[in-house]
Amino acid sequence: MAEKKGLIKEFSKGIIAENPVLRLVLGTCPTLATTTSVESAVGMGLAASAVLVCSNVAISALRKVIPDKVRIPAYIVIIASFVTIVQMLVKAFMPALDEQLGVYLPLIVVNCIILGRAEAFASKNPVLASALDGLGMGVGFTVALFLMSSVREILGAGTFYGISVPFLAENPMLIFILPPGGFFVFGVLMAAVNRLAEKKGKPRAELRGCEACPMAHSCALNKKEESKEEVSKK
């Protein structure tokens, strides 16, 4: 029973408590870029979720085989393989969605949510727990994209999933499908989630730069910034 509760917790944490977009503030680039319509947002969320689950399972299964010194390149190769498969499937069966997502579909390879979960969780935990972690994070990512895209498409285009919304279809507020509108909706959603977190006694989500990323300790860019800080102090 305790093990079952633990597995449920691994799945549910990514949806609310550790939502990758609204709580951990990861993956903001595809979040802002693909949420101009619900169709593209849900497509991106499902594609990223599929890659998350598959890469987590593969990395967890190989965690004792992959040498520590080459783990990051190995993770990237595994993730890139699954992204290629997903991209080929989308191109074959959903060409319109592939055109909408454009370059952001192959860029799932460098999505910090996927690489971060590989390093922070899948490389240290069993296959089942890693699969549930990836699924929970994927669902949380998709939910965040759906909420943002719903607001932006309804207010900015006057439609919802391509269906016209009365009154708003004739008077759309175009600012919401432009970058400023994306940042505004993102900020409002983060504020709402922070408010809910505070009521439950949890810390607020903050934009903390590189140190917020699960890969910060092994990132070359972060190491350069740290060395610059050390030199400036001297």
Q: What is the spatial distance between Cα 224 and Cα 140, in angstroms, rounded to a whole number? A: 32
Q: Is 182 helix (H, G, I), strand (E, B) or coil?
A: helix
Residue 41 has pLDDT above 50, yes or no: yes
Q: Which residue has the higher pLDDT, 66 or 234?
A: 66
Burial of 167 (0-12, 13-18, 19+ CB in 10 A): exposed
Return the domain boundaries, the chain.
2-205
Q: Are 141 and 45 in contact (CB under 8 A)?
A: yes
Least confident of 55-59, 130-134, 137-141, 217-221: 217-221
Pairing, β 163-164 against β 159-160: antiparallel
Q: What is the pLDDT of residue 211?
A: 52
Burial of 95 (0-12, 13-18, 19+ CB in 10 A): exposed
Q: Are 155 and 185 in contact (CB under 8 A)?
A: no
Residue 145 has pLDDT above 70, yes or no: yes
21 to 29, 61, 65, 128: CA distances (angstroms): 10, 27, 31, 23
For residue 205, name the pLDDT band (cuts at 50, 70, 90).
low
Secondary structure element (H or E) that encloses residue 16, with its range: none
Q: Residue type at 13?
A: K
Mean local confidence (pLDDT), 132-152: 93
Mean local confidence (pLDDT), 74-88: 94
59 to 75, 83, 130, 149, 178: CA distances (angstroms): 7, 14, 9, 31, 38
For residue 221, name the pLDDT band (cuts at 50, 70, 90).
very low
For residue 231, name the pLDDT band (cuts at 50, 70, 90).
very low
Q: Are 193 and 23 in contact (CB under 8 A)?
A: yes
Q: For the segment 160-196, what is each residue's pLDDT rounded down to a tens digit?
A: 887 888 887 788 888 999 999 999 999 999 888 888 8
Q: What is the spatial distance between Cα 120 and Cα 117, in angstroms, rounded to a whole number? A: 5
Mean local confidence (pLDDT), 2-14: 74
Q: What is the pLDDT of residue 189?
A: 92
Q: Residue type at 224?
A: K
Q: For the segment 158-168, what is each residue's pLDDT rounded down to a tens digit?
A: 888 878 888 87
